[in-house]
Structure 1
Amino acid sequence: MSQSYAVELYFDPALENQVLKAWNVLARRQISTQLIEIESRPHLTLFWSDFVDVAKLENVLRVIGSKQEPLPLSFSSIGSLPNDNNVLFLGPTPSASLLQFHSQLCDAMKKEGVEVGEEYRPDKWIPHCLVAQEVPKARMAEAFTVLRDLKLPVSGYAMEISLVEYQPVRELFSLTLGTHYLSEA
């Protein structure tokens, strides 16, 4: 199986717990357990690709992540993507700071020769935090109802930017936003 790579934002512990609550409720009802099974962490995906120069991308994340303070997030909607994976997500209010950070990341990646796929370009990107994958079609309405009981909005901060390899999930690089690295003497 080929590898895929994602750039993800991780949340502060309280917000992460709110998302995990959604994963666990859906798992208990046997609607969707996949995210738990693959040992993913609640996240917002900023970029995804099958072909990546890991060293280049890590460098981009180090530079852009060190300049960015933690980003306020407020998950205010529930959505589904129009692909056939029957995905459900929590959608953050698309704040200027989030959209600007994503746009700066894309610009920085392009400068390094990292190809940004169509769905992750700033004018096409749908910010989302997955809460369920491969939900049986017949249970989508039930899953939406379960998620509505979460009492949205849930708010917090994106605290970390990470480069993650998929299947299996493996964090290759992670940086707390706003952490300034000193060059090693």
Structure 2
Amino acid sequence: MSQGYGIELYFDPAMENQPLKTRSLEPGTYWLTAKSVLILSKSNPDLTLPLFSCPLIDPLKLENIVKTMSYNAAVPISFTSIGTIPDDRNVLFFALTPSMALLQFHSQLCDALKKEGFEIGEDYRPGSWIPYCLVAEQVPKAQMAEAFTVLRDVKLPYYGYAMDVGLVEFSPVRKLYSTMLGTKDEE
């Protein structure tokens, strides 16, 4: 049974592969690379928009909202800094400087979700949401300093586009639906 659903933006191939070269903090453990999310959570590097933890959600309603959002053009994205969240998940991420297009896309999505009766968590509401791309999670506390050193050497900023919007189920992460931005899916 699903623990929840998330709506995500996926990057163009150049941006997805640029941020880091494959590098291990310790042989066989954590890979700090644009592909790390593939290794750690079995999904593409992404920018997470609202998450929903209610198991009673109808994923078809969410899929219809995602289809509607695909009418938007590709969204410019720029990774500009590195960061972590001060909690026990030991997360490392690339922070994004939100463009006006990204903020408008997010606001439109939240409006569409509210219109359909979805409650958006405080962390994902316009004005509170902090856009980032997960690089690694559950990094051992003793290796956080080394991980930051690796990330600090990445030449930022990186510029690109969010080209696709998708719906995922978690945990574990499983993509349910995705579509390119700037298209209108044929029913």
Provide TM-score, normalisation by structure 2.
Answer: 0.88
Q: Which moved more, 1:45-54 or 1:109-118?
A: 45-54
Q: Deviations over 1:157-185 (max 9, x none)?
A: 10000001122321111010010134x4x
Amino acid at match of 1:96: M
Q: Deviations over 1:38-93 (max 9, x none)?
A: 31210000011122321111111111221x10011110100111322010100111
**Aligned partner (choices 134, 137, 143) of residue 141 of structure 2:** 137
Q: Match of 1:159?
A: 163
In the alignment, structure 1 segments of 5+ residues that lack a partner are none
CA distance in 2, matches of 1:28, 1:69: 40
Q: Which moved more, 1:31-40 or 1:76-85?
A: 31-40
Give the structure with the larger helix fraction.
1
Q: Which moved more, 1:26-35 or 1:119-128?
A: 26-35
* 1:26–1:143 contact (8 Å) kept in structure 2: no
Please tell me the root mean square deviation across aligned C-alpha atoms, in Å. 1.9
User: After TM superposition, where is structure 1 displaced by more than 6 Å over at least 4 residues in a row?
Assistant: none
Q: Which moved more, 1:105-114 or 1:91-100?
A: 91-100
Amino acid at match of 1:48: L
Amino acid at match of 1:77: S
Q: Match of 2:42?
A: 39
SS at match of 2:139: coil
Provide TM-score, normalisation by structure 1.
Answer: 0.89
In the alignment, structure 2 segments of 5+ residues that lack a partner are none
**Identity value in percent:** 56
Report the alpha carbon displacement of residue 155 of structure 1 after superposing the two structures with TM.
1.2
2:101 pairs with 1:102: no
